[in-house]
Amino acid sequence: MTTRLLVIAIAPGLALALAIYLTDRYDREPIDLLIKVFILGALSVIPTAFMERILLSFNIFGGVLGAFYTAFIVAGFTEEFFKRGVVLKTAYYNDAFDEKLDGIVYAVFSALGFATIENIMYVVFRFAANPYVGLYRGILSVPAHMLFGVTMGYYLSLSKFTKHEKIQKRYLKKSLLVPMLLHGIFDFILMSQIPILMLFFIPFVIYLWWINLRRLNEYTNESRIIYERKDKEDDLK
């Protein structure tokens, strides 16, 4: 039973990581660096849990305000901060990060490493008696982490490849702030237990997929153009 739950918990993260890896088909990232980012993303659960426990101790609010604080500060800010920290420490200044699509790839691998460990904690240990938790998290929670990662990587790449220092800092801030807000909204709708808000949950999830697939397609097309240009230059040599 535990083995089956473990497979259910791990499969979504690995499948989505593979999908992102295959999407980056023109100039793939080094496997060893991707594995490093994924593992460190998984290990970032440790400082995240420590920080979340501290922040929760300051939650003096009740009801909706308490849910807001937990969704945006405890979960949204803390989780995105440490996931982004992994990318900044491992890949952001690496020579392999040489095109905009790479930012999305590395941010998603960090996010999915985190999401995989979090999923194991929920599916295998915390809610092992409820078979629907694995299904729900595989369809919604793990893909949500991936989508927050796409947003994060989108802005990290804009920051890395701009030559203006002020704009670079602005995008670097957005690489934390925007996924934090999206994460907070996602969690707040679920935590607030306000029935009318649930009407917005599915449209919000659809929006997350729509905007982030657009970002992924934008950078994938740019990667293809760069690859084709290099290919033509090689042919002329």
CA–CA separation, 176 and 185 (whole Å):
14
Rg (CA), the chain: 18
Q: What's the pLDDT at 233?
A: 67
Phi-psi sector, 195: left (phi>0), alpha (psi -120 to 50), beta: alpha
The pTM score is: 0.95
CA neighbours closer than 13 Å in the CB half-sphere of residue 237: 6
- CB neighbour class for 44 (10 Å; exposed up to 12, middle 13-18, buried from 19): buried
Q: What's the pLDDT at 237?
A: 60
Q: What's the pLDDT at 221?
A: 96
CA–CA separation, 106 and 33 (whole Å):
9
Q: How many other CB atoms sit within 10 Å of the CB of residue 231?
A: 10
**Among 105, 191, 188, 185, which residue's Cα sits nearest to residue 149?**
105
> Could you report the per-residue pLDDT of 142-161, keeping only the tens digit for each?
999 999 999 999 999 999 99
